[in-house]
Structure 1
Amino acid sequence: MSYAITPPTVPSLPIIGSDQRFPVRRIFCIGRNYAEHAREMGAVVDRDTPLFFCKPADAVVTDGADVPYPQATGDLHHEVEMVVALGGGGRDIPLSQAASLVWGYGVGLDLTRRDLQAVAKVKSHPWDVAKAFDHSAPVSALRPAGAVTLTDDTAISLTVNGQPRQQGRLGDMVHGVAEVIAILSTLFELKAGDLIFTGTPAGVAALQRGDSFHAELAGVATLDGRVA
């Protein structure tokens, strides 16, 4: 097959302990999946109607690359999140089968142009310009699921310039990983290569040019980077 233009490069993530890479198809995100974060944003968790949004696959920043400070904002915020990588998919996936589709785990930042999000909320507009911009999804290398043991007490954290910003535990999530996958599959056909950002604990705040960050999903993955 020939193309009218050169096909874009497939975004991908490194894999811990392997020379292979994980190709990224789509990025799904769930909002308000930690009650304390919802409260700090002036929102209420609606367990029966989870809030989902998407980022483009090429929003990933990886391999230690700097994160360019985005255009059109003066209020860039960090949101540290566990990232789930799928090795399979489907529609209307039963909750009992959802966890078996997880290929691996990592940690990432859901970067947000908070000022643009605030305007969108007031006007009841979509969040795309606040969430789905270039370089808005820094993600660590992935650790295969077979090498990962997660519990309710598994910690997720973020420091900026060495100072603690966010700290949480996976047991604080409103919807667990299997629930998120099962619910998403009623809205989209999930496929291998999809990433799911699973929500952020409280403590979101602004990032400035020159800031360095360290995100960690304890015992699983770390992400270090800098805002350029």
Structure 2
Amino acid sequence: MSGYLFDTPKIQSIPVKGEAAEYPINRIFCVGRNYAAHAAEMGGEVDREAPWYFIKSPSAYVASHATVPYPPGTANFHYEMELALGLGAPVFRADAAEASAAIYGYGCALDMTRRDRQQDGKDHRRPWDLGKDIENGAVMAPLTRASDWQPMGQRIHLAVNGEIKQDASLEDMVWTVAEIVSHLSGFYHLIPGDVIMTGTPAGVGPVVAGDKITGGIDGLDPIALTLSDPE
């Protein structure tokens, strides 16, 4: 038996700085409330016992500098600027050193969110999928290899139409990247291709059709996204 009933989805992949080959995406894990100021602005607190997560589908990926339509089903579409990492080795029940060694590279990312649909989930104690797992909702810039860049308190920032909205330091993260990978590896056999988005600082807010989002983390390729009219 061979073949499939219909065409299989394209493998989503992220460019890598200085490489001809791209980084294929297996899964996208996202860390919730990893900056205390963002947790506060969302009306919550950081869970300091352990990180927690939600998942975006690989099909949510879109490359930086894309123009995408304002999504359906929302009237409150938000940006969230984040540091993303991609694993380059299998990791399971790892300590922090093993977790850090498994990271292939880092990049800028946007976790785009239907905030009203996310709030629906919170209000009714339902999953956040409609709020978070959005087509074109995982925006990623090219990765930089971990051998060339390490998180050491660099500035993380975002602007909408040139106006700064988020401006913080990676030092503000509650959980370090090594702690996140180590903790998550206690629940999953993580493999190369698994991407982790590490949370957003305070200053999130809505965007509308016609807006241009730009962001950066010192030392990494910047990120950009333009919103066009709804389909």
In structure 2, stretches of 5+ residues that fail to align are none
Shifted more, 113-122 versus 42-51: the winner is 42-51
Cα RMSD between the aligned structures? 1.1
Deviations 1:192-217 (A, max 9, x none): 00110000000000011010111101
Report how far residue 75 of structure 1 moved: 0.2
Following the alignment from structure 2 to structure 1, what is the Cα–Cα distance between the partners of residues 130 and 38?
Answer: 21
- State the number of aligned residues: 227
Identity of aligned residues (%): 38
- Alpha-carbon contact 2:159-2:165 (below 8 Å) kept: yes
Alignment of 1:196-215 (within 5 A): 196-215=196-215
Q: Which residue in the other structure is 2:86 paired with? A: 85
Deviations 1:19-67 (A, max 9, x none): 2111010000001000000000000111113220000011111052213
| Large movers: runs of 4+ above 4 Å | none
Q: TM-score, normalised by structure 2?
A: 0.95
Q: Which residue in the other structure is 2:129 paired with? A: 128
The amino acid across from 2:198 in the alignment is T
In structure 1, stretches of 5+ residues that fail to align are none
Following the alignment from structure 1 to structure 2, what is the Cα–Cα distance between the partners of residues 220 and 90?
Answer: 25
Q: Which residue in the other structure is 1:56 paired with? A: 57
- Alpha-carbon contact 1:14-1:63 (below 8 Å) kept: no
Following the alignment from structure 2 to structure 1, what is the Cα–Cα distance between the partners of residues 66 and 45?
Answer: 35
Report how far residue 149 of structure 1 moved: 3.5
The amino acid across from 1:105 in the alignment is Y
Following the alignment from structure 2 to structure 1, what is the Cα–Cα distance between the partners of residues 21 and 197?
Answer: 22
Q: TM-score, normalised by structure 1?
A: 0.96
**SS class of match (1:120):** helix
Following the alignment from structure 2 to structure 1, what is the Cα–Cα distance between the partners of residues 176 and 138?
Answer: 21
Q: Which residue in the other structure is 1:72 paired with? A: 73
Following the alignment from structure 1 to structure 2, what is the Cα–Cα distance between the partners of residues 32 and 185?
Answer: 19
Alignment of 1:95-114 (within 5 A): 95-114=96-115
Deviations 1:76-121 (A, max 9, x none): 0000000101101232111221100110110011011000111111
The amino acid across from 1:159 in the alignment is A
Following the alignment from structure 1 to structure 2, what is the Cα–Cα distance between the partners of residues 224 and 110?
Answer: 12
